[in-house]
Amino acid sequence: MYDPSAIESRWQTWWEENGTNEPDLDAAARPFFNLMMYPYPSAEGLHVGNLYAFTGADIYGRFRRLQGDDVFEPIGYDAFGIHSENHALKVDTHPMELIPSNIRNFERMLRGAGLMTDWSRTVDTTDPCYYKWTQWIFIQLFKAGLAEKKEAAVNWCPKDQTVLANEQVIAGLCERCDTAVEQRMLSQWFFRITDYAQRLLDNLDWIDWSETTKTAQRNWIGRSEGARLHFPLSGAAGAAGGVAGAGEGTEGGGEREGDRIEVFTTRPDTLFGATFMVLAPEHPLVERLTTDERRADVEAYVRAAATVDLVERQKTDDREKTGVFTGGYARNPATGEDIPVWVADYVLMDYGTGAIMAVPGHDQRDFDFARQFGLSIVQVVCSRAALPEGADPAEVGGGEAETAFVEHTADEILVNSGRFSGMAADAGGRAITEWLAGRGLAAAEVNYRLHDWCISRQRYWGPPIPIIYCDDCGPQAVPEEDLPVILPYVEDFRPTATGVSPLARNPAFHAAACPACGADARRETDVSDTFLDSGWYFLRYPSTEFDDRPFDPARMRKWLPVSSYIGGEEHSVLHLLYSRFLTMVLHDLGHLEFEEPYHRFRKHGLLIRDGAKISKSRGNVILPDEYIARFGADTFRMYLMFLGPFQRGGDFRDSGLAGPQRFLKKVWDSVTAAAAAGRTGFGDPGVERALHAGIKQISDDLEALSYNTAVAAAMDYLNTLRAGGRTASIDEVRPLVIMIAPVAPHIAEELWARLGGESSIFDHAEWPAWDESKLVVDEVELPVQVNGRLRATIRVARGAPEDVVREAALAEANVIRRLDGVAIRKVIHVPDRMLNLVVS
Ligand code: ANZ
Ligand code: ZN
């Protein structure tokens, strides 16, 4: 009888005792690095979403191994970070106690799930042997000028007195206490990922990734081509700068930075339609442009804008437009007109230049703003077809428009734009940029939405940033021989009222000698972002035994880049982009020979349950442990993969487990029966054909991660094998055992052994090959007689057995009619020749 729990624990133990899943990393001939996204070891234990992803990756790894690859499949724990820390705060346990027990729990659950994990090489990001190298990476970037300190706005919860990540701000409120979030300026460490924006974008053209993930990265990087244009300040503000020219009609030449507003625009073609300008509230020129009579209003507006959180600010399209007039003016360099300068929070300080030329005739946000505050709206672009017969483009448009012209047509031309009128819009934009560039007022420019990566966290639970501040020498890297900078045990690890890291309250940690001059200095007390831990963990797996280097060059050459990486869509941008960036940097600094970390990336789909999102609040969480205890890991794995296409996800229903459970039981019965009967060879051409069709289908499907259809194909083959209650031969069932092994590894090991195979199946079985010639369906025409008279002709597979032929004959209308009211007395079947039914 099939007893999954006995079989599974026996094989898990066997694998461990025999090091089945620990490839020799130096001797491997065909290395295949099979990576899955390591989990954050929450207190709740392994989540079914984790297991869904891991199982999908594991099946692919096992499939490659059965094809002869040396598969390395490690796992680790992303155990630092705000999630772990907040949980520790909630349950009032120190993370240094909580995390190790969470990890033990995870490991127990993972071992029960039947993954091909190499347990001799796990990674725990909170282990000083690991974060020593996280700190080392920080130092490499610091030395290369890629880590810098700058002031940046952060989300601040005034009640919890802490900095919040964007993801922790829900609809403007702190996720923990529902207090309205504010902005604060803090000095923080940044990695200059924007220096790599173009390369991160370009490489997407050739790496083998899920298309949707590439698209998400392209959008996140957000490349925009356009121009930087200068608008000289006019009137009092311009004169205050002490520069003649800006206010006196000498067309800009000689104006200085600070005497002009620079804008980034993707639409220089619309310059003649720029009727006002808008500065971000934080823009340095706000102060200078504001006139005395407007000062009180402007200052109040700027203060209020600082209480809007960053996430909300990003929604520049949808938010209701607010703003104030500064009282100041700047000159449109094309029309020569003075246009009012406003301040509004729909302009963001951290994109482009933090200032825009507003073109209400052609930009929806500017249009909304102009309508709200009664500013002029003019049209400067028009479809050529819409132009009245014989009209002069220079005379069209302008005036006060009632609508924004935001729809684009292919035949757009400039109107009401001086000598550029009549030109095609894109050519006109280039011509306007060149014209202004000739006067030092413009330059073509590319902008990226991508921001530099903020590394600092004013929290406790992370690797200390390895920097020492000296009054004389400035920030100094901790010497590499002094790494790791150990995260000390501090009793009170709560975030502080000042936004300063808890480590700053620990004088023993805080005080340090300057590595350059030896003077008394201060240690950096912020810790680094968790995404830095996860940005390089895969590099560590093949080198876990080395204490003196983060990754061993020979191992890197053999095992990296990662052969296959499978993970969730939620990591499309941050983790996957940061790890690409770090790999590129380490490559450029001579530490790695490759610049893209993952040879192939595939995202998996999402599980829902009974049609609804799985969440704790809904109470529909799936506890993998319970299902594995009830059904066995093999059935659970198979069901997870069977409920929908792996890359799209599917709906988990308890009732669905019965199918895979029945299937595995039938596999058990058929294989053990075949072993007992001991017949070999292929007696039946129909079965042999079904086998080759099955091998082809299952091989192709596993390669494409189409696991649900692979399982369905295995089920089909089994049905053919068992048709009419026949007992299969050993040669007919052995390939089936091998082909279900990736999905159901325990039962496959057991049945493989019972068929006389040497263990492990993953080391000794060879993935079956199919023979195309066996796939050709060989059919014969067979006459069907009733009482010796021809009543029908059927097509059946050559060599089809009597029950198959008879079933086909009994489906023929003409035969059915003759059988009405009579009984079949005798069946005469001459294989491939004829069938005669004797009735009376
Ligand atoms: C004039 C104009 C006319 C614009 C028009 C658009 C349409 P992307 O494509 O995302 O790069 N912009 C520039 N900096 C901004 C900032 N800091 N905050 C908010 N908006 C900003 O968008 C570039 C366009 O977004 C720029 O081109 C600018 O408006 C606006 F018919 O300039 B445009
Ligand atoms: Zn010093």
Counting ligand 1 atoms within 8 A of each CB, the residue from 265, 343, 353 with the most, and so the one to mutate, is: 265
What's residue 517's pLDDT? 96
By the 8 A CB rule, do 252 and 230 touch? yes
193 Cα to the center of ligand 2, angstroms: 29
Q: What does the alpha-carbon distance between residue 81 and residue 532 come to, in Å, rounded to a whole number?
A: 10
Can you give the pLDDT at residue 772?
Answer: 87
Give a yes or no: residue 805 inside a domain: yes
Domain that holds residue 806: 777-839
pLDDT of residue 800: 86
Quote the ligand 1 centre to 269 CA distance (angstroms): 13
Query: In this predicted structure, what is the pLDDT of residue 248?
Result: 37
Q: Is residue 730 part of a domain?
A: no
Which of 356, 362, 447, when mutated, tests ligand 1's pocket best, judged by the most ligand atoms within 8 Å of its CB? Answer: 356
| Rounded Cα gap, residues 170 and 181, in angstroms | 9
Task: Note whether 141 and 147 are within 8 A (CB).
Answer: yes
In a domain? residue 82? no
At 23 the pLDDT is 97
pLDDT of 167 reads 63
Angstrom distance (rounded) from CA 312 to CA 288: 27
In a domain, 535, yes or no: no
Report the alpha-carbon distance of residue 260 to residue 238 in Å, rounded.
Answer: 8
Domain contains 578 = no
pLDDT of residue 256: 63
Whether residue 55 lies inside any domain: the answer is no
- Provide the 8-state DSSP code for 246: T
User: Which residue's alpha carbon is nearest to atom 7 within ligand 1?
Assistant: 363
- Single residue among 448, 480, 500 that ends a domain in this structure: 448
Last residue of some domain: 392, 423, 448? 448
Q: Whose CA is nearest to atom 33 of ligand 1?
A: 265
Residue 249: give its domain's CATH number: 3.90.740.10
Q: Is residue 216 part of a domain?
A: no
Q: Which ligand is nearest to the CA of 513?
A: 2
What spacing in Å lies between the alpha carbon of 523 and ligand 2's midpoint?
12
Residues 6+ apart with CB under 8 A from 562: 33, 35, 538, 597, 598, 599
Ligand nearest to the CA of 361: 1
Q: What is the pLDDT of residue 243?
A: 39
Report the 10 Å Cβ neighbour count for 417. 28
Residue 576 lies in a domain: no
Q: Does the beta carbon of 267 lie inside 6 Å of ligand 1?
A: yes
The residues of the chain scoring below 50 in pLDDT are 241-254
Amino acid 84: pLDDT = 87
Domain stops at, among 448, 470, 495: 448
Is pTM beyond 0.75 here? yes
User: CATH number for the domain including 824?
Assistant: 3.10.20.590
Name the DSSP class of 387.
S
pLDDT at 240: 52
pLDDT at 253: 47
How many angstroms is it from 136 CA to the middle of ligand 2? 20
Give the per-residue pLDDT at 245: 38
Ligand 1 and 272: CB distance under 6 A: no
How many domains does the chain contain in total?
2
Strand runs labelled E in 510-573: 511-513, 520-523, 527-528, 564-568
Ligand 1 centroid to Cα of residue 589, in Å, is: 36
**What ligand has the least distance to the C-alpha of 522?**
2
**Ligand 1 center to 265 CA (angstroms):** 5
Q: Which of 225, 229, 231, 266 to mutate to test the pocket of ligand 1 (most atoms within 8 A of CB)?
A: 266
Give the model confidence (pLDDT) of 646-660 as tens digits. Answer: 999 999 999 999 999
